[in-house]
Amino acid sequence: MTLIKAYNTVRQRSEQICKPLKTEDYVVQPVVDVSPPKWHLGHTTWFFETFILKPNLEGYKEFDPEYNFVFNSYYETIGARVIRTDRGNLSRPGVEDVYKYRAYVDAAMQELLNEEVKAELRELIVLGLNHEEQHQELLWTDIKYILGHNPLFPAYDTNIDGSVNKENSFGKFLDIENGIYEVGYSGNAFCFDNELERHKVYLQDFSIAQELVTNGEYLEFINAGGYTNFRFWHSEGWDWVKNNHIPNPLYWHNIDGEWYHYTLAGLKPVDLVAALCHISFYEAAAFAAWKGMRLPTEFEWEIASEHFDWGRRWEWTNSAYLPYPGFKKAEGAIGEYNGKFMINQMVLRGASEVTPPGHSRHTYRNFFHPHLRWQYTGIRLVK
Amino acid sequence: MTLIKAYNTVRQRSEQICKPLKTEDYVVQPVVDVSPPKWHLGHTTWFFETFILKPNLEGYKEFDPEYNFVFNSYYETIGARVIRTDRGNLSRPGVEDVYKYRAYVDAAMQELLNEEVKAELRELIVLGLNHEEQHQELLWTDIKYILGHNPLFPAYDTNIDGSVNKENSFGKFLDIENGIYEVGYSGNAFCFDNELERHKVYLQDFSIAQELVTNGEYLEFINAGGYTNFRFWHSEGWDWVKNNHIPNPLYWHNIDGEWYHYTLAGLKPVDLVAALCHISFYEAAAFAAWKGMRLPTEFEWEIASEHFDWGRRWEWTNSAYLPYPGFKKAEGAIGEYNGKFMINQMVLRGASEVTPPGHSRHTYRNFFHPHLRWQYTGIRLVK
Amino acid sequence: MTLIKAYNTVRQRSEQICKPLKTEDYVVQPVVDVSPPKWHLGHTTWFFETFILKPNLEGYKEFDPEYNFVFNSYYETIGARVIRTDRGNLSRPGVEDVYKYRAYVDAAMQELLNEEVKAELRELIVLGLNHEEQHQELLWTDIKYILGHNPLFPAYDTNIDGSVNKENSFGKFLDIENGIYEVGYSGNAFCFDNELERHKVYLQDFSIAQELVTNGEYLEFINAGGYTNFRFWHSEGWDWVKNNHIPNPLYWHNIDGEWYHYTLAGLKPVDLVAALCHISFYEAAAFAAWKGMRLPTEFEWEIASEHFDWGRRWEWTNSAYLPYPGFKKAEGAIGEYNGKFMINQMVLRGASEVTPPGHSRHTYRNFFHPHLRWQYTGIRLVK
Amino acid sequence: MTLIKAYNTVRQRSEQICKPLKTEDYVVQPVVDVSPPKWHLGHTTWFFETFILKPNLEGYKEFDPEYNFVFNSYYETIGARVIRTDRGNLSRPGVEDVYKYRAYVDAAMQELLNEEVKAELRELIVLGLNHEEQHQELLWTDIKYILGHNPLFPAYDTNIDGSVNKENSFGKFLDIENGIYEVGYSGNAFCFDNELERHKVYLQDFSIAQELVTNGEYLEFINAGGYTNFRFWHSEGWDWVKNNHIPNPLYWHNIDGEWYHYTLAGLKPVDLVAALCHISFYEAAAFAAWKGMRLPTEFEWEIASEHFDWGRRWEWTNSAYLPYPGFKKAEGAIGEYNGKFMINQMVLRGASEVTPPGHSRHTYRNFFHPHLRWQYTGIRLVK
C-alpha cells in the first residue's frame, strides 16, 4: 500500500468509528482516563499538523494557532496544553470545526504526499498513523465508556454482535521448555521504540492455557466470594476493591438475579462461554491466585503466542512496563512517546476486537495502570 | 396576564436564551456549581411534569420514565437522582430530545391550562414559573462560565453591550435613622417561602452608598495589595485566596499590563466607571474592610433600597441566610425548596442584568456560599 | 482579686487539668480541630511572652526564639506558624520543656506584676487570662477526644462523676413577649470584642424550654429513624450524615444492644434523664425539626436566659456568628482575635461543665462550625 | 550462635536504638509511611506473641487482648487492625507499657527457647527475628524523619559521624559480559520467600560504576536545572516534582546559599565527596537520564556486586518488584509477608548504614514505591 493510501485509510477509519455518534457524545469526559471523541479526532490531526506539516510543507498555514493549546496531550516540549481533566469542559472547538480541521490537514497532507517523501519523514508519518490507530482503539473504548455509563444505556449500534468471542478448548495447556529465547521486534516494518532492542531472555519451563478465561469461569470466582476475600488480592488491589466497592467486572449489572453487561449493542445477558472482558490487573491476578495459577510474563507470552490463537483481548501479563536492554528515546518531542510512562504500569500483550486491522503483532507492548479496565482486557492462565 | 400567557412567555424565554448556543455548549459542566444548559432546560420541564401534570392532568403519560433519574435536582423525596457532579458526563438525552420533552410537556400544559385551574394548583404553577425564572438566570451565568472558561473565549453574542452599567453619583451616602422597621413580603402576588413572615426588626442608624462600587475603585484595592494582605480578609477567605491563587475578580485577565474581562460579547477592556461584577463574598468583605467600611445587613438593604436605584447586581450583604420568624416549610417535596439550604450561605439582595423581567422585588432573598462568584455579584458599602 | 493572684490562679488551673495525663497524651492530635495538650500549654504561654513580656518587661530575654514558630496559632501578623494540621507531628519541644517555658514566663510575669501596671497593659493581661481560660475548656474537650478515640478507652479520672447533669422539669416552656430588648455586654468587667456594642433588637413572641433536651428524648429521635430520613436535615447536614456514616452523638457506642458513651471516667451506660451532649448543629436542628420546633436565636436565648438555669451545655442557637452593629477590631495582632472568624460558624450560648469558673455570662458568644461536636454541646427547644 | 542468644541480641538492639529518644518521640507519625517508634517496638513483639507463643507455649496468657487491635499491621487474617494512618493518634498504650509488653513476651520466649524447638517453629522464630531487624532499619529511618521534620532540628546523637561514607574511585566502571547467570538465594541460612527460587537469567553486556553517586555529582544536576526540566523525568515523576514542589533530596536545606542536610547528629554542611542519600526512584532515574546513563536491573546488580564494595546505601534498580519463577506464598498469615506487595514498587539492592549487622546479602530484595525517599537510598550508574 502506498503511503498516501495508507494515510487515507487510517484517517477515514477514525471518522467511520464516530459515524453513529450524536454531536453530544463527542463532548463529554466521564472520567479522567476517557477522552471526548472530538478530542481524539483533533489530537491525532494536531500530530500531523505539528510534526509533519509545519516543519515540512512549505507555505503551510496553521489552521488555528489556539488549537495547539487544546489538542496537545502529553508533549510537554510543545508549549502549554489543556490539562487532561479539563478536556470534557471544552464545548469549543465544536464537532463541525474539528472535522473542518481534519479536512484542512488532510488536504495539506495530500499535497505533501504527492511529492516524494524522504525516509526520515516517511517514518514520522508512519508513526503518526500508528499513533492514530492507537487512538482508534481508544475511541472505541471511550465511546463504550461514555454510553455505558449513561443511565439510559444507549446502544452505539444494535447490529454489532459481540458474541463471536467464544472459547473452544477449555482446560488445554501448552508446555514450553526452558532455554534462551529471543524477544523484541525484528524486521523492517514499523514498530514502536519500546519493542526494541530485540534481545535474549532465559525462560524456565511453563504451561500456558490455550484459551482465554470465560465469563462462566469468572462467575465461579464471584460466586465463591472472590471479591470479599483479601487472600487472593494484592494489598493495593484489595484497597481498590474496598474503596471503590467493586463487586464484578466493568459493565456487568446484576438485575433481578440475572447477569447482564453493557455492550456496544446495548445491555445484553452475559454469555458464559464467551471470553471474559473488562477486568483490571488486580482482578486478573486475584482470579489466577484463586485458581492456584498465575499470569504469564510478557516474554512467556511472546514465545508461546506462536502456538495459540490470540487477538480478541488484551491479555494482562505479570510484567511491569520497563525498557528493554538498549532502549533509546528519540530526540525531541517524539522521544516523549513511550519511555516516560515506564513506571507503575503493567504490560498487556495481544490485541482486541477493537484493535485496528494491521495494528497488532507478537512483539507489541501495550500498558496500563493495574486498576484500569475500560480496555478490552482478558486473562490467560499459566501454571 | 393570564396564566397560560405567563406560562408560554416564561417557557419561551428559556429557549430564547439558548438560541445562540452550539449543540456542544449545552452539554458540558466545567465545575460542580455550573450545570449544562440542556440540564436546566430538562429540569425545569421535569418540575412541571412531576408536580403539575402527573398528579393533575388525567390520562397524562410520562414522556420517559428514566428522565426523573436524569433531571431531578435536589428533591430527595422523588427517587434517585443523578448526582450533581455527574451532570456533565451525560451525552444523552441529547439536545433535540430535551426540546422534544419541552414541547411534549408544553402541549400537555396547554391542555391543562385551557380548563379552569383551582387556586392551589395555580399557586404551584406560579411556583414552577418562578422556579424556571431562577434557572433562566442560572442559564445566563452558566453559559457565561462555560464560554468564558474556554481557551478560545468564544462570544455568546457580539452585539450584547455590557457597558451600560455605569455609576453616576460617586461617594454619595444615604442616612437612615434607627427605629423599628418592617421587613419581608406583604401583598398578594407571588413570593418565595423564605420572604415570610413579614416581621419587625430594629435597625440602628446607618449610611449606605447611593451607588455600587466600580471596577476602578476595586482596581485601587488590587493595586494596593489587597489580595496579598491577610488583614482585610476573613480567615476562611484568606485560605480561599491562597489555596486558589485568586488575584482578581472572576473573568478578569491581565494581558500585557492591561486589564480585560470576559463578557458575553467576548474579551473586552475593563471599564473603570462601570459597576464591579463577579466577586465573592470574601472579596466584597475584604474590599469593605480595606475601605474602613462594611457591607449592609439584608434588612438595612431592604429598608434603604426604597431610596436608591438597584437591580444591576446582586449585592452581597453581611447577613447569613436564615429563616424569618414564623418560617414554615411546605408539605412534601415542595417543602425542600428553600429551608434546607439555610446554613453556611450569605444573603444577596437586588437583582442583576440577567434577572428575568418581573423576577425581582425589595424583599427577594438570593443566597450563595461565600466563595462563589459566577453570579453577577457586586458591592454596596455602608459606613 | 489582685491581678497577680488572678494570673497565678488561671495559670495553675491549666496545669492542674493536665495532671492525670501521661506524657504521651500531651503529644497527639487525632483530628485537625483537636490540639495536643502540650500545644495548648505552650500557646497560652507564648501569648504572654509575645504580647506582654517582650514589649513591656525591660530586659526580658525570650525563652527560645524558635518557639514563636511552634506555638503561634492564627496570628498571621507574628511571623510564620506551624500549620495547624502539623501540631501532632511535633515531638519537640517535649513536655518537660513546655513546663520549663511556663515556669520561665510565669517568673517574668511575677516581676512585671509586682510593679504597677498601666490600664492598657492590664487589659491585655486580662485578655491573656481569658484566652487561657478558653484554652482550658479546649484542654478538657481535646483530652476527652484523645482518650475517647483510643481503642483502649482509658479513663482520665475514674472518680469524675458526670451524672449530675439531670433535668427536672420536663416539657415546661417559658413565654417571652415581643418588644424591643437590649443585647450585648454592658458593665465594667471583661468581655470579648464580639459582645459589643450593646444594642437594641426587636424580638417576636416565643416560648422557650425550661430544660435541656435529655439523652432519653434524643434516643427517641434515633429510634424513630432520625438519622435515616433526609426530611429533618439541612442539605449539608444530610451530606455530613451520609459521608461520615453518623448514626448517633459523638462518644456513643451501641454494644450488644445497650447504649454506652465515653466519659472522662471511662465507658458508661447512657443515662436517659441526663442532658444530651456532643451533638453537631446539624443534629440539633434535625432533632428540633423532628419535634416540630426550632432552636432559639442567640438574642432570644440572651433575653430568656434570665429566667432559666443554664451553664451545663453549650447550647446551639440558630444564629450565624456575625458582628454586632458598631463592632470594631482592635489594632494589630490582637485584632485578629474574633472578627476574622465571622463566617460559616453558628453561635453557641451558655457554658458547660468544663468551662472555667467565672468564664461565663449571659452575653458570651461561643461559635463553631455546624458539623463539630467535640465540645459539650446540647439543645434547648423553642416553639 | 544459639537461637536464644540470637533472640536476645536482636531484641535488645531494638531497645538500644530507642535509648536516646524522649518519650514524646515514640508517639508521633508525621506521614503515613513513618510509624511511631513505640508502634515498631510493640508490633515486633506482637509478632512473637501471636505467631510463636500463643500457638506453641502451653499455658501462655496473652499480655492484653486489645493489643492485637493496636499492633497488628497488615495481617488481615488476624482480625481488625488500627488503620495505618491512625497509629500516630494513639497515646496509649504508653511507652512504659510497651516496654512491659516486651519484657513479658521476652520472658515467655526464654521459657520456650530453653526447651528444644522443632525445625518448623525454629524457622518461624528466625523469621520473627529477621522481621524485627527489618523494623530496626525502619526505626532508624522513622526516627530520622520525626526529628528531621521538627523545626528545632534536634539531634538524635551528636556523636554520630555520618562522614565516613566517602567515595574513592570516581568514574571507574566494571564490565560484565553477557551470558546466563544464576540469581536468587541458595544456601541453608535464612532468606525471605521473595529471594526464591534461585533461577537462571540472561544478561546482556553492561558496565557498572564501581562507586555510588556523590553529593557533589548530584549538586551538578541540581545546578544544571535538573528539577525544572521535564525531559529527564518519568511522567509521574515530573508530576511528583511539581505537585510537591521538590527542589532537592530529602533533608537538604539551602541556608543563605550554602547546602546543609539534617543528619542524626543534627544539621550539617553537605559533604560533596560523600555518597548521595535520600532520593526517590524518580530522582535517581532523572539523574541517570541527565547523565546519559541508566540504573542497573536487580539482576545486573546481583551479579556485579561480587566485584564492588556495597552496603552503605540502598541502591535503586530499574526492576519492578515481581515474583521470581516458582515463587510460593506460605500458608496462613505468614503468607501475607511479601507476595501481596508485588505491584507498583521498585526493587532496591544493597543495604545501608542503618541496616542491622548480618541482615544483608547479595540476593536481598528490598522494595519501595518510587516516590519514597526516607530510606537511605542512593544511586549507582550503568552505561
Percent of chain D with pLDDT over 70: 95
Task: Indicate whether A23 belongs to any domain.
Answer: yes
Closest CB to C150: pick one of D30, D91, D151.
D91
Q: Which residues in chain A touch residue D202, judged by CB atoms under 8 angstroms apart?
A: 180, 200-202
All partners of chain D with 3 or more CB pairs under 8 angstroms: A, C
B196 to chain C, closest Cα gap in Å: 14
> For D9-32, how does the pLDDT look when each residue is reduced to its tens digit (9 = 90+)?
999 999 999 999 999 999 999 888
> For B27-38, how does the pLDDT look when each residue is reduced to its tens digit (9 = 90+)?
999 888 999 999
Residues 17-56 of B with CB under 8 A from A: 22-30, 38
Asked if B89's CB is within 8 angstroms of A28's CB, the reply is yes
- Helix axis angle, B3-18 to B37-48, nearest 10°: 160
Residue C7 has what pLDDT? 98
Which pLDDT band holds residue B43 (cuts at 50, 70, 90)?
very high
Q: Does A235 touch chain D (CB under 8 A)?
A: yes
Asked if A236's CB is within 8 angstroms of D343's CB, the reply is yes
The residue among A106, A122, A148 that closes a domain is A148
Percent of chain D with pLDDT over 90: 85
Closest CB to C25: pick one of D86, D91, D150.
D91
Together in a domain, D92 and D176: no
Asked if D281's CB is within 8 angstroms of A234's CB, the reply is no
Task: Indicate whether B241 belongs to any domain.
Answer: yes
CA C65 to chain centroid, in Å, comes to: 30
> For A170-208, how does the pLDDT look when each residue is reduced to its tens digit (9 = 90+)?
789 999 999 999 999 999 999 999 999 999 999 999 999
Closest CB to C322: pick one of B199, B202, B320.
B320
Asked if B27's CB is within 8 angstroms of A92's CB, the reply is no
Q: Which of D194, D340, D342, D382 to mutate to test the interface with A (most CBs of A within 10 A)?
A: D340
Residue C176 has what pLDDT? 98
Residue D325 has what pLDDT? 96
A75 pLDDT above the threshold of 60? no
Which pLDDT band holds residue B85 (cuts at 50, 70, 90)?
low
Q: What is the mean pLDDT of residues A332-361?
A: 90
Asked if B319's CB is within 8 angstroms of C322's CB, the reply is yes
Residue A145 has what pLDDT? 96
Q: How many other CB atoms are there within 10 angstroms of residue C33's CB atom?
A: 17
Percent of chain A with pLDDT over 90: 85
What CATH number does residue C23 fall under? 1.20.120
Closest residue in chain B to residue A29, using alpha carbons only = B89
Together in a domain, C121 and C13: yes
Which pLDDT band holds residue B162 (cuts at 50, 70, 90)?
low
Closest CB to A234: pick one of D238, D343, D370.
D343
Q: What is the mean pLDDT of residues B47-73?
A: 92
Closest residue in chain A to residue D83, using alpha carbons only = A239
Asked if C199's CB is within 8 angstroms of B180's CB, the reply is no
Q: Which residues in chain A touch residue B152, judged by CB atoms under 8 angstroms apart?
A: 66, 70, 92-93
Domain range for A313? 163-378
Name the more confident of A299 and B255. Answer: A299
Asked if A343's CB is within 8 angstroms of D281's CB, the reply is yes
Task: Indicate whether D153 belongs to any domain.
Answer: no
Residue B284 has what pLDDT? 98
Q: Does A180 touch chain D (CB under 8 A)?
A: yes
Q: Which residues in chain C touch residue D149, judged by CB atoms under 8 angstroms apart?
A: 89
Together in a domain, A167 and A131: no
β-partners of residue D326 are none
The answer to whether A12 and A106 are in contact (CB under 8 A) is: no
CA–CA gap between residue D383 and residue D380 (Å, rounded): 10
Asked if D23's CB is within 8 angstroms of C92's CB, the reply is no
CA–CA gap between residue B17 and residue B21 (Å, rounded): 9
Q: Which residues in chain D touch residue C89, judged by CB atoms under 8 angstroms apart?
A: 28-30, 88, 146, 149-150
All partners of chain C with 3 or more CB pairs under 8 angstroms: B, D
Asked if B147's CB is within 8 angstroms of A22's CB, the reply is no
> For D91-147, how does the pLDDT look when each residue is reduced to its tens digit (9 = 90+)?
999 999 999 999 999 999 999 999 999 999 999 999 999 999 999 999 999 999 999
D72 to chain C, closest Cα gap in Å: 13
Together in a domain, D251 and D114: no
In this structure, are strands D314-320 and D377-378 parallel, antiparallel, or unpaired?
A: parallel
- Closest C-alpha among C303, C74, C358, C366 to residue C176: C303
Task: Indicate whether A210 belongs to any domain.
Answer: yes
Task: Indicate whether B364 belongs to any domain.
Answer: yes
Q: Does D91 touch chain C (CB under 8 A)?
A: yes
All partners of chain B with 3 or more CB pairs under 8 angstroms: A, C
C250's CB contacts (< 8 A; 6+ apart) are: C278, C279, C373, C374
Q: How many CB pairs under 8 A join B and C?
A: 78
Closest residue in chain D to residue A336, using alpha carbons only = D231
Asked if B82's CB is within 8 angstroms of A149's CB, the reply is no
Residues 237-276 of B with CB under 8 A from C: 237-238
Closest CB to A320: pick one of D201, D234, D320.
D320
Residue C76 has what pLDDT? 58
Which pLDDT band holds residue C314 (cuts at 50, 70, 90)?
very high
D68's CB contacts (< 8 A; 6+ apart) are: D46, D50, D78, D79, D81
In angstroms and rounded to an integer, the radius of gyration of the C-alpha atoms of chain D is 21
CA–CA gap between residue D164 and residue B227 (Å, rounded): 50
> For A195-241, how does the pLDDT look when each residue is reduced to its tens digit (9 = 90+)?
999 999 999 999 999 999 999 999 999 999 999 999 999 999 999 99
Together in a domain, D136 and D171: no
Residue B273 has what pLDDT? 92
The residue among C148, C173, C197 that closes a domain is C148
Which pLDDT band holds residue D273 (cuts at 50, 70, 90)?
very high
Mean pLDDT of all residues belonging to chain A: 93
What CATH number does residue C244 fall under? 3.90.1580.10
A92 to chain B, closest Cα gap in Å: 7
Together in a domain, A143 and A268: no
Q: Does B85 touch chain A (CB under 8 A)?
A: no
Residue D2 has what pLDDT? 93
Q: Which residues in chain B touch residue C285, judged by CB atoms under 8 angstroms apart?
A: 343
Q: Does C80 touch chain D (CB under 8 A)?
A: no
- Closest C-alpha among B263, B28, B140, B31 to residue A92: B28
Which pLDDT band holds residue B246 (cuts at 50, 70, 90)?
very high
As for how many domains chain B has, the answer is 2
Q: What is the mean pLDDT of residues C36-61?
A: 96
Together in a domain, A129 and A81: yes
pTM confidence score: 0.95
Q: Which residues in chain B touch residue A94, judged by CB atoms under 8 angstroms apart?
A: 22-24
D235 to chain A, closest Cα gap in Å: 5
C171 pLDDT above the threshold of 80? yes
A317 to chain D, closest Cα gap in Å: 11
Which pLDDT band holds residue B336 (cuts at 50, 70, 90)?
low
Task: Indicate whether C67 belongs to any domain.
Answer: yes
Q: What is the mean pLDDT of residues A7-13?
A: 98
Residue C287 has what pLDDT? 98
Closest CB to D88: pick one of C22, C28, C151.
C28
CA–CA gap between residue C48 and residue C70 (Å, rounded): 15
Name the more confident of B126 and D162. Answer: B126
Which pLDDT band holds residue C164 (cuts at 50, 70, 90)?
low
Residue A77 has what pLDDT? 54
D273 to chain C, closest Cα gap in Å: 32
Closest residue in chain A to residue B71, using alpha carbons only = A151
Residue D306 has what pLDDT? 96
Which pLDDT band holds residue C170 (cuts at 50, 70, 90)?
confident
- Closest C-alpha among D312, D309, D219, D307 to residue D269: D219
Closest residue in chain D to residue A296, using alpha carbons only = D325
Q: Which three cell numbers stand for residue C66?
A: 524558635
Together in a domain, A137 and A178: no
Q: Does D234 touch chain A (CB under 8 A)?
A: yes
> For C199-255, how does the pLDDT look when each residue is reduced to its tens digit (9 = 90+)?
999 999 999 999 999 999 999 999 999 999 999 999 999 999 999 999 999 999 999
Together in a domain, A167 and A259: yes
Among A153-167, B9-23, D320-334, the range with the most confident prediction by mean pLDDT is B9-23
Q: What is the ipTM of this complex?
A: 0.95
Task: Indicate whether D176 belongs to any domain.
Answer: yes
Together in a domain, D112 and D169: no
Task: Indicate whether A132 belongs to any domain.
Answer: yes
The residue among C148, C176, C193 that closes a domain is C148
Together in a domain, D139 and D190: no
Together in a domain, D178 and D258: yes
CA A208 to chain centroid, in Å, comes to: 23
